[in-house]
């Protein structure tokens, strides 16, 4: 017993911090605002062994698998001064395709990042020169994130998020220190980001000009543009919060909703979801959500899961569900739907089948890109490979240059699925799927 206690604490435990847990000991509870301490362990029902399970699955590796040969077109190729390109989304409206994405100088989520878009009038065969949607920076560290365009009543509505960087999170040269997001994770008072909000701009001339910015959701950077529920209510998926509105234009009246047990001060942006999951005592980060609604009215908000050391990656998606049209959400559940750690999109095809557009190989560089379909919204076991390039070498140096089919998104119209994705976070690509090819 004395030997076991010696191993549980003292110099041996200091050298090998994983040893006490490996021998069955509980880790001490960390102070809620400590910058140095790891996240405190959750109550047993929220740990890995007790995480509620969802029946949603894609049966990866044993599902019926069909390879489709889709032609791809490069919409935008990264270049010096505009090397980072990511977060793409697609809209079909009145015979035109609108591709939008985040564009940065060289690295991901740094000051100077903006929202660009390009237009195709020939079903994606050729694309216009890129144009900017976001307004000029409102301060020296302004960082904009593109979250897509939707149409309503003859107008285009572009959605984007904004945050700046606090002085404490900047190097001497004015560039952000990414480690601060980790360092401040356990503090409700110290933040790397500041002035986080979502906003829209509208165009009534097909994107030739854009109106004044409308700041409409505070402390929030969306993951995707708003999508409607069966009632017409709009939900804009974030990471851990999912605001909703009954304004059909999707501009006003947004109300906050999200995971249970979040602190009142929660900010849902690329820093804030880490803090939110810390204060929920989660052992994984929940982020980059997308939902579909089954015939019983239940909303299924699928979630990317990011590992928190020392826990290994799940290699799976999570899900939180709502039975009241998005006003409240369940505790997250662990699905058996495999994933490599990449943004995705779920929805419904015109024939009534549900779909997930994801990169489901858990040990891949975001490839292949697979459209999985389901008759019941539970078992997604008809798989169609819509992109299968095994790997690509980046042509521009930069941080985190990876992902053959990064952050895929789509729009459906005229019997086609229009698909967009980033490649190595430096180029934006497009492909088109005729839905008649799906058995």
DSSP codes joined into one string, 402-437:
--TTEEEEEEEETTEEEEEEEETTTEEEEEEEEGGG
**The two structure tokens encoding residue 296:** 């019983």
Q: What is the pLDDT of residue 12?
A: 42
Judged by DSSP in three states, 4 sits in helix
Distance from C-alpha of 230 to C-alpha of 236, rounded to nearest angstrom: 14
Residues 283 and 417 in one domain: yes
Residues 3 and 102 in one domain: no
Residues 113 and 197 in one domain: yes
Q: What is the phi-psi region of residue 399: left when phi exceeds 0, alpha when psi lies from -120 to 50, beta otherwise?
A: beta
- State the Rg of the chain over Cα: 22
Distance from C-alpha of 364 to C-alpha of 266, rounded to nearest angstrom: 32
DSSP codes joined into one string, 256-279:
--BSTT--TT--BSTTHHHHHHHH
Asked if the structure places residue 32 within a domain, the reply is: no
Distance from C-alpha of 157 to C-alpha of 203, rounded to nearest angstrom: 7
Strand (E) or helix (H) holding 372: strand 369-374
Q: What is the CATH number of the domain that holds 196?
A: 2.120.10.10
Find the length of the chain: 439
Q: What is the pLDDT of residue 235?
A: 98
Distance from C-alpha of 155 to C-alpha of 214, rounded to nearest angstrom: 15
Give the bridge partners for 334, in sequence order: 53, 318
β 284-293/299-307 pair status: antiparallel
Distance of CA 136 to the CA centre of its chain: 25
Residues 65 and 21 in one domain: no
Asked if the structure places residue 38 within a domain, the reply is: no
Q: How many CA atoms lie within 13 Å of 19's alpha carbon, on the beta-carbon side?
A: 14
Residues 21 and 58 in one domain: no
Asked if the structure places residue 81 within a domain, the reply is: yes
**The two structure tokens encoding residue 13:** 């435990």
Asked if the structure places residue 403 within a domain, the reply is: yes
Distance from C-alpha of 286 to C-alpha of 54, rounded to nearest angstrom: 15
Residue 18, domain extent:
1-25
Residues 157 and 10 in one domain: no
Asked if the structure places residue 37 within a domain, the reply is: no
Q: What is the phi-psi region of residue 232: left when phi exceeds 0, alpha when psi lies from -120 to 50, beta otherwise?
A: left
Q: What is the pLDDT of residue 51?
A: 80
Question: Does this model's pTM top 0.75?
Answer: yes
Asked if the structure places residue 42 within a domain, the reply is: no
Asked if the structure places residue 45 within a domain, the reply is: no
Tens of pLDDT along the chain (439 residues) come to 333 333 334 444 334 333 333 333 333 333 333 333 333 333 334 444 568 999 999 999 999 999 999 999 999 999 999 999 999 999 999 999 999 999 999 999 999 999 999 999 999 999 999 999 999 999 999 999 999 999 999 999 999 999 999 999 999 998 999 899 999 999 999 999 999 999 999 999 999 999 999 999 999 999 999 999 999 999 999 999 999 999 999 999 999 999 999 999 999 999 999 999 999 999 999 999 999 999 999 999 999 999 887 888 899 999 999 999 999 999 999 999 999 999 999 999 999 999 999 999 998 999 999 999 999 999 999 999 999 999 889 999 877 788 999 999 999 999 999 999 999 999 999 999 999 999 8
Q: Provide the number of structural domains found in the chain.
A: 2
436 within 8 A of 351, measured Cβ to Cβ = no
Asked if the structure places residue 39 within a domain, the reply is: no
Residues 237 and 161 in one domain: yes
The DSSP 8-state label assigned to residue 241 in this structure reads B
Residues 256 and 384 in one domain: yes
Cα→Cα distances 60→309, 315, 373, Å: 26, 11, 12
Distance from C-alpha of 95 to C-alpha of 414, rounded to nearest angstrom: 10
**The two structure tokens encoding residue 113:** 């990042």
Distance from C-alpha of 405 to C-alpha of 337, rounded to nearest angstrom: 18
Residues 16 and 107 in one domain: no
Give the bridge partners for 185, in sequence order: none
**The two structure tokens encoding residue 363:** 């040990």
Residues 64 and 181 in one domain: yes
Distance from C-alpha of 427 to C-alpha of 423, rounded to nearest angstrom: 5
Residues 287 and 177 in one domain: yes
Residues 13 and 80 in one domain: no
1 within 8 A of 7, measured Cβ to Cβ = no
Distance from C-alpha of 145 to C-alpha of 102, rounded to nearest angstrom: 6
Q: What is the pLDDT of residue 17?
A: 35
252 within 8 A of 261, measured Cβ to Cβ = no
């Amino acid at each position: 017993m004395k030997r076991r206690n010696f191993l549980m604490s003292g110099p041996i435990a200091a050298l090998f911090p994983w040893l006490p847990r490996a021998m069955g000991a509980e880790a001490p509870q960390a102070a809620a605002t400590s910058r140095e301490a790891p996240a405190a362990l959750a109550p047993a029902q929220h740990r890995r062994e007790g995480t509620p399970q969802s029946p949603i699955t894609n049966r990866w590796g044993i599902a019926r698998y069909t390879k489709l040969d889709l032609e791809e077109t490069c919409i935008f190729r990264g270049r010096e001064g505009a090397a980072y390109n990511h977060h793409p989304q697609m809209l079909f409206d009145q015979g035109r395709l609108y591709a939008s994405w985040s564009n940065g100088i060289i690295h991901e989520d740094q000051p100077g990042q903006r929202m660009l878009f390009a237009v195709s009038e020939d079903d994606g065969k050729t694309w216009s020169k890129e144009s900017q949607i976001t307004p000029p920076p409102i301060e020296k560290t302004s960082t904009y994130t593109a979250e897509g365009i939707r149409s309503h009543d003859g107008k285009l509505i572009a959605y984007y998020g904004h945050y700046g960087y606090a002085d404490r999170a900047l190097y001497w040269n004015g560039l952000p220190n990414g480690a601060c997001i980790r360092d401040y994770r356990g503090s409700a008072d110290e933040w790397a980001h500041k002035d986080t909000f979502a906003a829209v701009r509208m165009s009534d001339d097909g994107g030739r000009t854009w109106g004044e910015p409308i700041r409409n959701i505070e402390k929030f950077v969306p993951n995707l543009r708003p999508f409607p529920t069966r009632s017409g209510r709009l939900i804009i998926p974030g990471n851990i919060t999912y605001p909703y509105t009954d304004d059909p234009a999707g501009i006003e009246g947004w109300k906050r909703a999200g995971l249970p047990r979040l602190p009142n001060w929660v900010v849902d942006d690329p820093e804030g979801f880490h803090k939110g999951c810390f204060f929920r005592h989660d052992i994984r980060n929940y982020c980059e959500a997308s939902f579909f609604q089954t015939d019983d009215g239940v909303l299924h908000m699928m979630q990317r899961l990011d590992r928190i050391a020392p826990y290994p990656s799940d290699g799976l998606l999570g899900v939180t569900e709502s039975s009241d049209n998005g006003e409240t959400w369940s505790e997250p559940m662990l699905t058996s739907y495999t994933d490599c750690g990449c943004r995705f999109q779920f929805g419904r095809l015109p024939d009534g089948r549900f779909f997930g557009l994801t990169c489901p190989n858990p040990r891949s560089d975001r490839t292949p890109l697979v459209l999985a379909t389901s008759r019941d919204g539970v078992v997604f076991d008809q798989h169609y490979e819509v992109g299968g390039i095994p790997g690509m070498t980046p042509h521009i140096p930069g941080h985190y240059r990876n992902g053959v089919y990064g952050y895929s998104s789509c729009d459906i119209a005229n019997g086609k699925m229009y698909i967009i994705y980033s490649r190595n976070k430096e180029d934006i690509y497009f492909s088109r799927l005729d839905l008649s090819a799906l058995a």
